Each structure stands twice: as C-alpha cells, then as structure tokens.
Amino acid sequence: MKKLFTLTGVFAGIYVVFLFILFSSSLIFPNTQGQLYDCMLEKTITANELSSISNKYKITTFTTEYKNTSFFEKDITFNFFNNSDINNIRYGLQKKIIRANKILYEENSNEELKIQRFWAINNNEANFKLFSEDLKEYVLQKEAFESHRMNFSIVFAERNIEFFVCVIMFLIFCVSIYYILRSKEIAILKLNGYNIFIISMKILAKAVQQIVIGYTIISLAFIVYLNLLNGTLIGDFLRLYMYIFICLFVAILVICIIGAIFIKILKIIPALKNNKNNKILVILVVAFKVAITGIFIFSATHLCNDYLDYKLTTEGYESIESKNFNYIKTSKTPDENLMENILIAMEKSNLEDIYDYSNPSYSLNGHEVFNNIKKREEMITNPPVIRMSHNMLKYVKIYSEDNSVFDVNSFDNRKTIILLPNNLRNRANEILKKYDDISNSEVIYIKDKQEHFNFLRPNEKVYNAIYLLKPIERSIYFNNGRVVFGKESTVKMEKYLLKIGADKGTVQLINLESEHKKMLDNMQLKLIDNIQLFLINTLSFFLAIIAVGIVYCEFRKKEIAIMKVSSQKPLRVISVLCSVNVAITTVISLILNPLLCTVCGLEIVIYILIVYLYYSRKAVSVLKGE
C-alpha cells in the first residue's frame, strides 16, 4: 500500500511539472516590475515618432508579431521602439525551457513603419501621464494588461480543480482500503483510549510521508533540469511546488477527518478478530474503478470529438476562399438615412462582387461529419436547404447530373433556380410544394450526395443539399445568412462609409477570413484545454489500474503465497482480476465510445504484471508474517 501513496506523490509531481511547463510557455512578455499597457491609436503613428516620444519620457514600447502559436510552441518577435534602462530588457533570443519556443526581442529597424497598436510599460506614473498626453493627437486608448505571473490564483484554474478532484478521489480510495487493512491496529489504539483524530493522523503519517517523497523526487529532478536551461525560473517553480503542496495538505486534512469518522464507527471486537469486512472492500474497489473509468472514457471521447472538430474546421478554413470577403456588422439597426446611404453605395458597386449566402437549414457540425452516420443518412431523404445568390457558384462547386461544374453563366440570374439532388427526382412535387411562394422558379437536377462546407462557418458541412439560387437582394441583411462583399466592393464600401462619417460603433466591415481564423483559434485553445484534462484523467486512470491491482493482491495475498510455495501459477487470481475490471471498462466503453474497448488490452497487461511481481517478490514474505 505504501507504493500507492508514493505513486500518488509521483502523480502530483508529474502534474506540477506539466503545469509549470504550461505556465512558462505563456511567459512571453518582459519580466519587469512596471505595469504593462495594451495601447491603441485611432490615427497611425510612425515608428520614428513613437520611438522619439517613448525615449523622451523613458517609456519602453514595443509591438508583437505572432508567427506561430500552438500547443507548447510559440514563435513570437518583439519589436522594440524604445528600451528603457530601468526595465533591464536584453535583446536577442530569450531563455526558454521548451526548445520549440522562439521568443525574440529585437530593436526596430523600420523607422517609417505605421503603428496603431503597441505595448507600453509604465514604471513612472508622472512620465507615463506626459507620454499619454503627447499621444493625445493620435487619440490614445489604453488598457492595463496583467501579464502571466506566478501567484496562488493559478491553483484555482478550472483544470487544476479537476486535478485535485481526481487526487482526492484516489486518496479517499487508498486511505479507505488502508484503514480497513489496518483495522486491527486501529482497534488496539482505540481500546487504549487514543483520540480518534490522533489515531487517524498516526495511520496517515506514513502515507503522507510516502506522498511527500514521491512529490519531492519528481520536483527535485525537474529543478535540476530547470537549472541547466533557465535558473531564473526556479523561484517560480518553488512557489508552484508550495502552492500545490498546501492544497495537497488541505486535501489530506479533509481525508483525515473522514478517517476519524470511520474510526469512530469501527467496532473493536470484529476488528480484533481480523474481520476486514470483505464486502466493503469489494464495493469500494468496484465503485472506484467504475468512477475513474467513466471519467477517463468520457474525457477521451470529448477530446476525440474536439480533435475532429478542429480537424474539420482546419480543412474548411483552408478550402473556403474567404480571404477577400467582408460583411457589414451592425450593433443596432442603422437609422433610415444611414441605411439609404449604404444601399446607394451598394448600387454604385459592381453587383457581381456582392454575394448572398444563408446558413443551411441544418448541417453536420464538426465531429458529426465523421461519426454521425444516422444524421448523414437523414440528409439523403430530408436534405438541408441553402439559399444563395447565383454568383456564389464561383466559390461553391456544384456538379450537374453529367458531372460537369456549374458556373455563374449556367443560369439566368434573374430567376430563382432550385438545384435538386437527383435521388429526390421522384419526390420533386412533394418537395417543391414547400416553395410555392417562389415565383419565376426553375428546377434543375444535380448529382446527388455532394458535400460542401458552410461558406460562413468552416466547422459545418452539408450533404446532399438543395440549393436555391436567387437574384441578389438590395439589402445589407440576408435572412439566416450574410451579404458579403468581394475585394473591389469592400474597398468602395470602406471609402463610402468613411465619406459619410458612419460611426464604427454602429456600422463596420468585418473580414470573413478573420472570423474563420478566430473560430479556428478558439477551437485550438479548446483542444489544448481538453488535452490538459485528458492527460490528468489518463494519469488518474492508469494510477487507478495499478491501485486496483495492488489492493486486489493485498486482499488475496495468502492465496497467492500458497500458490507460490506449491509452484502453482496464479492464473485464477489473474482471471478474476482481469475479467471483473475488463467487464467494467468494456460496458462503459460500449455506452460512451466503443473504440476505447482497446484500452482493455493494456489493462490486462498491467494486471498480469502486478500479480506476477507480487507473486515473485512478496508472496514468501507474507507467509513469514512480514
């Protein structure tokens, strides 16, 4: 049992290292005592002018260029216009503990560079106030930015709370078994008049010692590694070590109280007779295994779905030609005069460069594309509907019955064309009744089972869709969709909005590609977040497998010892251990994710290894009473 507590400490140590690597990966901004500000100008300023003003008031200013950011990998260049001596910032590649990271601090070399957004460090309130006043003509807006520094609040991040829940679950299980196995010793202490809390602490003392040993060994090994790469971070790591240690200590105190309750209700005579209440042991082991397995498989399924969502969105982002498209976003309905001016600007633009596109009536979202066969089959008989202007055929490739691609000139753009998948030909009249309100329409049959991304949302796909090609509407709104402007019409619209003095808070042009990129970035962050949770749950799951194996061997130790002495193989012990636990994993996997039944193979290997190690190393000492 002591090894289980050591493993718990190792688990906590691995997690604290993982957490610190995540933390250090976010340390990209200069480590100074000054307040960092995110600054925005309404009017552009040249790098030379900003450098001059910054130098005048000894304010450090810089911009950031993100060349690549991903999980545990960052390639970022900091371009400094002024580097105040007070901040002690060194140019060049910054020290890092992740070799994939490339954080470069360099002095600006392009004096004519136009700047609207930059960062500033405030080390002197009076100077910073004068600095802000000198930028008044450029209409400076600034917001204090809290750069990521080590503090106790990091412990209360969502994923860290989930880690402590797993640790507490594991500790409660181990301590419960530990107390039951040592119930005779507890009964003797209780008989001698010891306080229940003192008994609980006495029993837990060795367990706490083993946890601290495992936790500290991993942490010390990482400190040695950290010292070789970047010794300045050792202080931060020691603080994190203490924060997690304090939380573990609090968790153990809670468990100590729970243990005291167990001691209070423990009956002395049955305990002295060495009656360990086997039913409670079995119930505890099974309940713990079900809980940890359920959490692990749920987490793995969630991560798999998030990966598929990200994969599909990446594919959609790369395939949708949205770079030169913009749409008008309004915070409220523009007044009549402003709306009329916008519509006039649209009429002056080339209508062929203005596009209408609606979201599909329903779609396959993210992972559903890969694993929701039922919904895909439903689309064959009950297809989604997409309304769009004729000119969208430039970007949405739709195949005719003879497998040729339709283009803009394929149809009369004054008519509404209904493109109906060929497999619905026999139901055409039934389907067309839904569009009785559409006048001047024509039905064209197309190749069935075609797949397309939603042009407005790269994380969605449609299968076997009906397309309604409509004449371009004179409006900035399109029901359940967008009116999007091509490159040429965007330039004209920007100039016109500037000319009429349209308030950017009410009306502004939003780039469609930037919206797609934001969606992709958010999915990447979500994926990274769930990878962290999955790693925690994976460690918990394998720790649980080891715990269940060890507890079972402790439970059957005399039987295993007799088998060893009589030269019998512990096949019966292995078969019972494997069959019960594999059954639990299989049932939960079949409910949540059948693919994860493959975990059973690895589980069996671990159980066989645990039993044989116990059989070969500890069986004889059990018979000796050690």
Number of helices (H) and strands (E) in the chain: give both, helices first: 19, 18
Question: What pLDDT shows up at residue 15?
Answer: 82
| 618 touches 612 (CB < 8 A) | no
Q: Which whole number is the average pLDDT over 92-104?
A: 69
Residue 132 has pLDDT above 80, yes or no: yes
Q: How far, CA to CA in Å, does 456 sit from each of 20, 391, 459, 613, 626?
A: 38, 15, 9, 59, 70
Residue 278 has pLDDT above 80, yes or no: no
Question: What pLDDT shows up at residue 69?
Answer: 59
CA distance 540 to 289: 11
DSSP 158-179: HHHHHHHHHHHHHHHHHHHHHH
Which distant-in-sequence residues (6+ apart) come within 8 Å of 330 by Cβ? 476, 506, 507
| 173 touches 547 (CB < 8 A) | yes
- Helix 278-319 × helix 512-555 angle, to 10°: 160
Q: How far, CA to CA in Å, does 580 sit from each of 103, 290, 386?
A: 51, 11, 52
| 114 touches 46 (CB < 8 A) | yes
Tokens for 474, please give them.
């004179």
Tokens for 517, please give them.
């990129």
Please tell me which of 199-208, 239-248, 432-441 the model is most confident about, judged by mean pLDDT.
239-248
DSSP 5-46: HHHHHHHHHHHHHHHHHHHHHT--S---SSEEEEEEEEEEEE
CA distance 329 to 335: 14
Report the percentage of the chain scoring pLDDT > 70: 87
Q: Which residues of 443-467 are buried (b: 16+ CB within 10 A; e: fewer)?
A: ebbbbbebebbbbbbbbbbbbbbbb
Q: Which residues pair with 41 in a beta bridge?
A: 140
Question: What pLDDT shows up at residue 32?
Answer: 72
Q: Which whole number is the average pLDDT over 585-597?
A: 89
Question: What pLDDT shows up at residue 331?
Answer: 61
Residue 217 has pLDDT above 90, yes or no: yes
Task: Specify the CATH class of 28-147 in words.
Answer: alpha beta
Q: What count of Cα atoms within 13 Å lies in the side-chain half-sphere of residue 574?
A: 18
What is the helix (H) or strand (E) element at residue 564, kind and residue range? helix 557-565
Nearest to 12 by CA among 175, 208, 248: 248
Report the percentage of the chain scoring pLDDT > 90: 8
608 vs 564, which has greater pLDDT? 608
Q: Which whole number is the average pLDDT over 396-424?
A: 87
Residue 481 has pLDDT above 80, yes or no: yes
Q: Which whole number is the average pLDDT over 65-80?
A: 70
Question: Residue ranges of the domains in the chain?
Answer: 1-21+150-276, 28-147, 323-521, 556-626
Indicate whether this model's pTM tops 0.85: no
Question: What pLDDT shows up at residue 447?
Answer: 92
Residue 276 has pLDDT above 60, yes or no: no
Per-residue pLDDT band at 117 (split at 50, 70, 90): confident
Residue 423 has pLDDT above 80, yes or no: yes
Residue 354 has pLDDT above 90, yes or no: no
283 vs 607, which has greater pLDDT? 607
131 vs 232, which has greater pLDDT? 131
Which distant-in-sequence residues (6+ apart) come within 8 Å of 203 by Cβ? 178, 179, 182, 185, 186, 259
CA distance 532 to 227: 25
Residue 375 has pLDDT above 70, yes or no: yes
Nearest to 388 by CA among 491, 484, 486, 321: 484
CA distance 84 to 59: 6
Per-residue pLDDT band at 586 (split at 50, 70, 90): very high
